[in-house]
């Protein structure tokens, strides 16, 4: 089964842009979860991503099931480690942190996840995950003990993305880090999107509708919004200048 990925490919071929809301299970206010789901349903989101670098919650199954009660969007795990895998979700971004040189995040966690994934029905989507300096230290960098690629080195980002594509990654994810001061520079998005065939995800530090549009205009196929929606569940309903 590969519905999520084939839908992403279809959207890309039709130039239809996609949007994922990233939910961190640790930051969910369970008292107002029905309201959260209704805000997601009113938003232009096409996907829900679940996870984060620092998730301690053991309530991922519960969260996925609760959201699914009233929301039909595909639920895709975005795990920081193998403990964040839920069989209740629809798919998983099987991430390799290819900007870093820490073997744990390049292959070790993935090996550990295999027995869990083999027993699951999750759609597994191999994703080359590239961390780019977002102007501040981020949780991904801290937890993975890896350095982001400099914003001033688009070529290195491009070669990393192309290396991921050559290795067989199905998606490339350009990440400035959750809550980053600075989003991925437009010139990097453009350079990468024009020189890879596979779909491009961009996230981290995008704080406005303009920021989303800018990422799309420069070639992002799917934009991820976490912090901005977490801080304000009306983020998508407010007209922004």
| Contacting positions for ligand 1GP (CB under 6 A) | 22, 175, 178-180, 203-206, 224-228
CB-based closest residue to ligand 1GP: 203
- Rounded Cα distance, 56 and 125, in Å: 23
Contacts 24+ apart (CB under 8 A), 227-232: 227/178, 227/179, 229/21, 229/22, 229/39, 229/43, 230/23, 230/24, 230/27
**What does DSSP say about strands 123-131 and 91-97: parallel, antiparallel, or unpaired?**
parallel
Of 56 and 166, the one with the shorter C-beta distance to ligand 1GP is 56
CB of 228 to ligand 1GP, least distance (A): 6
- CA-CA-CA-CA torsion sign (206, 210, 213, 215): negative
CB of 197 to ligand 1GP, least distance (A): 22
CB of 173 to ligand 1GP, least distance (A): 8
Of 70 and 212, the one with the shorter C-beta distance to ligand 1GP is 212
With beta carbons less than 8 A apart as the criterion, state whether 24 and 51 touch: yes
First-to-last C-alpha distance (Å) of the chain: 42
Of 70 and 240, the one with the shorter C-beta distance to ligand 1GP is 240
- Rounded Cα distance, 93 and 128, in Å: 9
Of 126 and 178, the one with the shorter C-beta distance to ligand 1GP is 178
- Rounded Cα distance, 110 and 83, in Å: 11
Of 59 and 207, the one with the shorter C-beta distance to ligand 1GP is 207
CB of 225 to ligand 1GP, least distance (A): 5
CB of 175 to ligand 1GP, least distance (A): 5
């Amino acid at each position: 089964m590969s519905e999520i990925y084939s839908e992403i490919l279809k959207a890309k071929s039709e130039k239809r842009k996609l949007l994922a809301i990233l939910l961190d299970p640790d930051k969910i206010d369970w008292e107002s979860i029905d309201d959260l789901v209704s805000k997601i349903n009113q938003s232009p989101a096409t996907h829900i991503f679940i996870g984060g670098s620092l998730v301690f919650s053991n309530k991922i199954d519960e969260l996925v099931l609760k959201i699914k009660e009233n929301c039909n969007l595909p639920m895709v795990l975005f795990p920081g480690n193998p403990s964040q895998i839920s069989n209740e979700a629809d798919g998983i971004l099987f991430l390799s942190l290819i900007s870093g040189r820490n073997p744990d995040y390049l292959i070790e966690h993935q090996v550990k996840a295999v027995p869990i994934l083999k027993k699951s029905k999750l759609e597994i989507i191999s994703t080359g995950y590239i961390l780019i300096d977002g102007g501040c230290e981020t949780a991904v960098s801290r937890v993975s003990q890896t350095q982001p690629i400099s914003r001033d080195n688009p070529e290195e980002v491009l070669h990393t993305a192309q290396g991921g594509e050559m290795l067989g990654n199905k998606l490339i994810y350009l990440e400035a880090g959750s809550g980053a001061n600075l989003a991925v520079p437009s010139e990097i998005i453009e350079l990468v999107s024009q020189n890879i065939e596979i779909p491009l995800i961009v996230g981290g530090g995008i704080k406005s509708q303009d920021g989303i549009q800018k990422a799309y205009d420069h070639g992002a196929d799917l934009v991820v919004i976490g912090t901005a929606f977490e801080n304000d569940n009306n983020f998508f309903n407010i007209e922004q200048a």
